[in-house]
Amino acid sequence: MIKIAVMGLGTVGTGVVKVVEANETPIYHKLGDKLEVKTALVRRFKENSPYRSLMTDQFSDIENDPEIAVVVETIGGVDAAYTYTKRALCAGKHVVTANKQLVAEHGCELLRLAKEHHVNYLFEASVAGGIPILHPLTQCMAANRVDEIYGILNGTTNYILTKMVREGATFADALKEAQEKGYAEADPTADVEGIDAGRKTCILSDLAFGHQTDPSVVPMEGISRIDLKDVEIAEKAGYRIKLLGRCLRLENDGRTAYVAPHVIPVDNPIAGVEDVFNAVVVRGNATGEVMFYGKGAGELPTASACVADVIEALQATPGRPEISWDDNTDGFRDPLELTSSYYVRVKGAPSEKFGDVKILSQEAGQSAFITSAMTGHEIQSLTADALACLRVLA
C-alpha cells in the first residue's frame, strides 16, 4: 500500500481522491501496489463531507508522517502552497501540483530543492489540465530542438470567443454567460486578461528552452478589448480569433514569450478548437508541428494528470535530469522584435506604410486588412489611431 496526501480539497483536490478511488485497478496495474489517499489538508473541517476522516488542518501531520510518500498540492496561489511545498520536499516527499502560478514563479527553485532531496517535483496538471503536454515535450520530443510552442491555454476565454463567433454575442454578454455556467470566476481578471495563459506559457518556455522565463516580463494581453466587429470580419474572410500563449526560440540563445489574441486561418487545426477545450502545438526541428488537444480544465481531467504524476514520481529514477531549467533570465527578448503580418482595422483606406495589404472588408468608411510582414515596433508606430490591431498566426 502506497499512501499519499492531498493539500486542499477544492475541485482538483477532491478530484484526486475520486480518481484514486475510481481507478484503483488501472493504477494498481501501473504501480504494482495499491494507492490510497491517507490525509487531506484543509483550512476548515466540513463535518458532512464524505472525506471527513481524511481531513487535518495541521500541515505537520503530513510533513511528519513517514508513511506519506507523495504530496499533491492543490491549494493554488503562492503563500501557503509555496511554504508547504518547500517543507514537503525537504521532508523527502515527492510533490505533485496543478498550481501554475507557483511553478511559473518558483519552479526553478523548487526543482532544485527537489533534486537536492532526491525527490520529484512534477506539474503536468499545471498546463492544459488533463492533456499530456509537459511529459511529451520533455521526454517524447527529447530528440528535437524545440523551436516554438503556441496554444489555446485558457478554456474560459476560448469559451467566450466561441460564443462571440457562433452567436454574435459581445464580449460582455459572453463573459456573463460563462460566469453563469461556472466557467468564469466572479473576478475573471486572471482569465480574460491573459494572466492564466501567461503563467502556463512561462512554464512551457522554461521547459522548452531551459531558462527561467519570469512572468513579470512577459507581455500578456487578453480578450477584453476584442470587438465583435473584428470577430465577424475575420470569420467572413476565413480567419478566426483565438487567444494564444506563445514562446519562441530566437538566435544566440535568445527567446521570447507573450500572450495575445491572434487572427488564425481557419484551415490551421488550432482554429477549430472550440468551447472550453485547450490545444498546444509544439514545433520541433525534426518532428515538425505536433498538436495536443483535449479538456484543459475540470475536476477529473486535471486530477487524473496529478495522479499520473504521482505514479511517475513513484516509478521514476529520482531527479530525472530533463525536468529542470536554470535561473538565467538574460536571453529574454521583447516580442515586439518578432516579425509577422497583422490584422488592422482603420477609418478610411489603409496607408501605403502597411505594405502590400490584403483587404478583408471595406464598409461604413472603415477598412479591415492584413498587412505585409513587419515587426511589432513598426506596427505599433503605424496603429496609434487604428480601431483594431491583432497579430496574424502564419
Q: Cell numbers 523548487 correspond to what residue? A: 110
Determine which one of 200, 229, 236, 295 is catalytic.
200
Q: At what angle do helices 195-209 and 100-116 cross, to 10 degrees?
A: 30
Beta bridge partners of 261: 243
Site for a copy of itself in 125-184 (CB under 8 A): 130-132, 135-136, 139-146
Ranges of beta strands (E only) in 18-63 are 35-41, 55-56
What is the rounded distance in angstroms from the CA atom of residue 392 to the CA atom of residue 341?
5
CA 176/CA 169 separation, integer angstroms: 10
Output 18 or 38, the one with its CB closest to a copy of itself.
Answer: 18
Q: How far is the CB of 330 from a copy of itself (least distance, A)?
A: 18
> How near is the Cβ of 223 to a copy of itself at its closest, in Å?
22
In the complex, minimum distance from the CB of residue 133 to a copy of itself, in angstroms, rounded to a whole number: 8
State in angstroms the smallest separation of the CB of 84 from a copy of itself. Answer: 23
Instruction: Provide the CA 322 distance to its chain's centre, in angstroms.
Output: 20
Nearer to a copy of itself, 7 or 276 (CB): 276
Dihedral (Cα; 198, 204, 205, 210), 10-degree rounding: 150
Cβ neighbours of residue 239 under 8 Å, at least 6 residues apart? 263, 264, 265, 266, 271, 343, 360, 392
25 is a contact residue toward a copy of itself (CB under 8 A): yes
CB 135 within 8 A of CB 236: no
200 counts as catalytic: yes
Binding track over 179-218 against a copy of itself, x by CB under 8 A = -------------------------------x--------
- Mark residues 274-303: x for contact with a copy of itself by CB under 8 A, - for none: x---------xxxxxxxxxxxx--x-xx-x
Residues that bind a copy of itself (CB under 8 A): 15, 19-20, 22-23, 25-27, 29-32, 124, 130-132, 135-136, 139-146, 210, 267, 269, 272-274, 284-295, 298, 300-301, 303-308, 310-312, 315-317, 320-322
